[in-house]
């Protein structure tokens, strides 16, 4: 990844959703991402943030670090890192979307939505960090 | 997110506006649970003013619908559009709920 334009560190908790999306929206606007895609962008960021808080940290708390750089026409590359235990959300089994209401499992939809909305998403463990890198949209 | 309830003859209408995310989705589930405890069998969620819903919100819709179905009731969705509609479609949750364009249509199906 080229030197990122900007980087921000926030507490990994639901309370950071607004600040995280505001920060990245600014970069997305500068990169020329279609503003109609901003809702999806916010959703992707929220899902990743919440997964980090729940699976990389709980019961501890910690920080997430977000960085972005333009990635071609109207696209942005975003990296979200944390310092928690090893956690690769891309290893999660895909949710079964064909079950009826009574036995439809309640979890797993967040990662599914992220995968559906982003391009070329990758996970790497780098020193003591989990790093999720993807291009949007 | 704002939730404005209206008691109807055969259902409770919940007008949900704003953003439903991981920080506030539980408020929707609690509001629904409150009406279920109060004896409501059918809940109608008017989502015309809902701009955003993430997976935490989807969990709440699913969980409330499962509870209501277990007691022969239902969670009916109206006015889904934009990002919330896309999210319900991508996850194929949309087929699990009775879905109507308008609240009037939903109310008329309850007879």
Q: What is the ipTM of this complex?
A: 0.93
Are B90 and A113 a contacting pair at CB < 8 A?
yes
pLDDT at A4: 55
In a domain, A1, yes or no: no
Q: How many domains does chain A have?
A: 1
Q: Is the full-model pTM beyond 0.90?
A: yes
Are A97 and B66 a contacting pair at CB < 8 A?
no
Range of the domain at A59: 6-136
Q: Whole-angstrom Cα distance, residue B16 to residue B22?
A: 15
Instruction: Look at the domain B2-109 and name its fold.
Output: Transcription Regulator spoIIAA (3.30.750)
Which chain B positions have a beta carbon within 8 Å of A12's beta carbon?
Answer: none
Tell me the per-residue pLDDT of A62-109, one tens digit each, with 9 for 90 and over.
999 999 999 989 999 999 999 999 999 999 888 999 999 999 988 889
Smallest Cβ distance to B65: which of A40, A101, A109? A101
B71: helix, strand or coil:
coil
Domain boundaries along the sequence of chain B: 2-109
Among A89, A87, A79, which residue's Cα sits nearest to residue A45?
A79
Among A122, A130, A44, A47, which residue's Cα sits nearest to residue A87?
A130
Q: Whole-angstrom Cα distance, residue A117 to residue B50?
A: 20
Query: What's the CATH number where A87 sits?
Result: 3.30.565.10
Smallest Cβ distance to A17: which of B23, B55, B62? B23
Tell me the per-residue pLDDT of B57-86, one tens digit each, with 9 for 90 and over.
999 999 999 999 999 999 999 999 999 999
């Amino acid at each position: 990844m080229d030197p990122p334009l900007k980087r921000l560190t926030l507490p990994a908790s639901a309370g950071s959703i607004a600040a995280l999306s505001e920060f990245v929206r600014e970069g997305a606007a500068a990169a020329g991402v279609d503003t109609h895609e901003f809702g999806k962008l916010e959703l992707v960021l929220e899902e990743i943030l919440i997964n980090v808080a729940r699976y990389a940290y709980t019961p501890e708390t910690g920080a997430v670090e977000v960085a972005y750089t333009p990635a071609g026409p109207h696209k942005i590359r975003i990296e979200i890192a944390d310092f928690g235990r090893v956690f690769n959300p891309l290893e999660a089994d895909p949710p079964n979307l064909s079950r009826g209401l009574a036995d439809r499992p309640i979890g797993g939809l967040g990662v599914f939505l992220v995968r559906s909305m982003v391009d070329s998403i990758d996970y790497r463990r780098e020193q003591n960090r989990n790093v999720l890198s993807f291009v949007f949209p | 997110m704002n939730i404005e309830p209206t008691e109807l003859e055969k259902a409770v209408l919940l007008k949900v506006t704003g953003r439903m995310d991981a920080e506030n989705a539980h408020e929707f589930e609690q509001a629904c649970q409150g009406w279920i405890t109060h004896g409501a069998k059918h809940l109608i969620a008017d989502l015309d003013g809902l701009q955003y819903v993430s997976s935490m919100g989807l969990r709440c819709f699913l969980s409330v619908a499962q509870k209501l179905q277990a007691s022969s009731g239902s969670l009916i969705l109206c006015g889904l559009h934009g990002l919330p509609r896309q999210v319900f479609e991508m996850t194929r949750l949309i087929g699990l709920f009775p879905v109507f364009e308008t609240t009037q249509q939903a109310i008329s199906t309850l007879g």
